[in-house]
């Protein structure tokens, strides 16, 4: 499995998720349109749930979560867990790690037939190897790595336990 070089502890990850929720709340402040946070399965859904949990403390908007499913290796088929009309909604796409931007780009596909009020992206860990024109709006931690490094976010029982490079 290789060595694990932790870049985020459980506590640090929790603080970063809280900070990103505060940044999002500040941006949405005063706009009562509903918010839908779409978590990219599987770890992205945990991120979405934690962000929604924090966000509900700071804004009165109707806040929901749903999951996006796609095969990260061949993301032609993208599905959302619920039938949602995204028109007029603030949409936030959440994932654990972004590398090239490819997954976030394909996650936009279900939104193309609607007219959301805003679309924003949020990731816990951003790697600096962009190949697609998608940059997260909210980032917990930016990390410069080699192309051979792999970042893994550990999730256990619906909680982020940490993140490491292997």
Domains present along the chain, CATH in parentheses? 5-165 (3.40.50.2020)
Q: What would the two tokens of residue 138 be?
A: 């909210």
Greater confidence (81 vs 10) lies with 10
Residue 72 confidence (pLDDT): 72
Please say if the pLDDT value at position 126 is more than 50. yes
Percentage of residues of the chain with pLDDT beyond 90? 69
Q: What would the two tokens of residue 32 be?
A: 């009562």
Omega before residue 81 within 30° of 0, cis: no
Lowest mean pLDDT, pick from 2-16, 20-34, 42-56, 67-81: 67-81
Distances (CA, A) of 162 to 47, 96, 124, 126, 159: 12, 11, 10, 14, 9
**How long, in residues, is the chain?**
166
Report yes or no: 103 and 85 within 8 Å, Cβ to Cβ.
no
β-strand pairing of 5-8 with 78-80 = unpaired
Report yes or no: 76 and 56 within 8 Å, Cβ to Cβ.
no
Distance CA 77, CA 72 (A): 10
Residue 23 confidence (pLDDT): 98
Distance CA 165, CA 2 (A): 10
Span 61-109, pLDDT tens digits: 999 999 999 887 776 788 898 889 999 999 999 999 998 888 899 999 9
Report yes or no: 128 and 71 within 8 Å, Cβ to Cβ.
no
At 1, is the pLDDT very low, low, confident or very high (cuts 50, 70, 90)?
Answer: very low
């Amino acid at each position: 499995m290789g060595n694990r070089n932790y870049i985020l502890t459980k506590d640090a990850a929790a603080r970063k998720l809280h900070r990103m929720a505060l940044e999002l709340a500040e941006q949405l402040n005063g706009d009562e349109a509903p918010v839908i946070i779409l978590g990219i399965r599987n770890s992205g859904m945990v991120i979405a749930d934690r962000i929604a949990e924090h966000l509900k403390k700071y804004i009165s908007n109707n806040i929901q979560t749903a999951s996006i499913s796609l095969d990260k290796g061949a993301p032609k088929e993208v599905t959302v867990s619920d039938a949602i009309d995204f028109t007029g909604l603030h949409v936030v796409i959440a994932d654990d790690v972004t590398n090239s931007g490819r997954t976030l780009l394909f996650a936009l596909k279900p939104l193309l037939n609607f007219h959301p009020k805003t679309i924003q992206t949020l990731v816990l860990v951003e790697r600096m190897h962009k190949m697609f024109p998608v940059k997260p709006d909210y980032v917990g931690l930016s990390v410069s790595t080699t192309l051979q490094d792999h970042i893994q976010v550990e999730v256990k029982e619906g909680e982020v336990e940490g993140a490491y490079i292997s």
